[in-house]
Structure 1
């Protein structure tokens, strides 16, 4: 919390609550595809490290360029309904 300049957990909780309330008022609660369909988004090094940490769960996932960032996409088939 020192890095955030917040003195204690209680103050952090209050600030976080205000961020959420502001986002809801501004209708930012809409699903953002950039975050909801990707496992990781960021620099090449960050996404590669995240992929490596996933181990066998990331075998068939590739890192893709997305604007100035890199992403590790979630496989839509992972969520397919199977009967």
Structure 2
């Protein structure tokens, strides 16, 4: 018999997954499948930098960043970053 804790974790996981899948369906057309893509500056000019894909055209959508930030464990103490950085493009 499952404990109430595991049942609540399972319910929360299902809600997370459903919302995540909805967001992914919404952004499906903007996902770039290239493994290595040129990085462009704010004016659209190609730079000498590249990003490792797949990536989302225009950066991570705010809706996805908020969903991840609000529902996942913050590991910022381990790597010096935080969930607030997930939608920031870094060369």
TM-score relative to the length of structure 1: 0.30
